[in-house]
Amino acid sequence: MQTQMMPPVLLQPALVLNSAYLPVSIVKAFEALCLVVTQKADIISGEENEPIRSQFLRFPLPRVIRLVGFSGMPSNPAWSRLKVLYRDDQTCAWCGTRRRIDDLDCDHIVPRSRWYECPRDLRRPYEVPASRLQNVYAPWNSWQNTVASCRPCNAKKGNRFHWELGLKLLWEPYEPEYVPSVVVSFDRARQLGWLDYLLNSRGKPISPSAVKVVALPPISRALKQQ
């Protein structure tokens, strides 16, 4: 069934926990139900007032499910533009402004169009060995050569070297040990009833290697609103 033809309720998000009750991903409700029906997952939390019915079955709308036979966690991720924005906490590396994902670009420090033009000694800090590149034909696509950039800063820099404009990075880009597989705003998590599964009693992420709660309020507020 195509998602365009599905009832909107089946496109709502569901949080996925591994067998140790640690969050590992977010899926759509219909995907969660497929896992439940095939006995690969249990429903931990659901909306009883919004049941999903078939001819013989009835399930609450899943909000949180637990994978029965999976205890693993997301592994160290490969480079991607979106993951660079998550690594940099949705903050422009040039001006320090924090913005929504939709208002950010993944900026190449040494521009793609001038990669081979750039003197080797100036390019060296942003290079990585070929063995660590996903595509040896695109050496500019690496954790070390990309940062989050707001649209105004990206437009200002264009395809020029940042030292030509007197721009300075606010931090050095790096290859992270992990990038969260669950990224959700505090208000959204609270609305969906996920906070008990994402935050501990001190308002900190339960599994830092998998979870990022965006715009997390102070601990006192987090405890008060749980």
pTM as predicted: 0.61
Q: Mean pLDDT over residues 209-220, rounded?
A: 56
Separation CA 70–CA 51 (nearest Å)? 26
Domain residue spans in the chain? 3-67, 81-165, 182-225
User: Hey, which bits of the chain come out as E strands?
Assistant: 13-17, 23-28, 41-53, 58-67, 104-108, 146-150, 182-185, 211-214
pLDDT at residue 70, as a whole number: 80
Tens digits of residue pLDDT in 42-65? 999 988 777 777 767 778 889 999
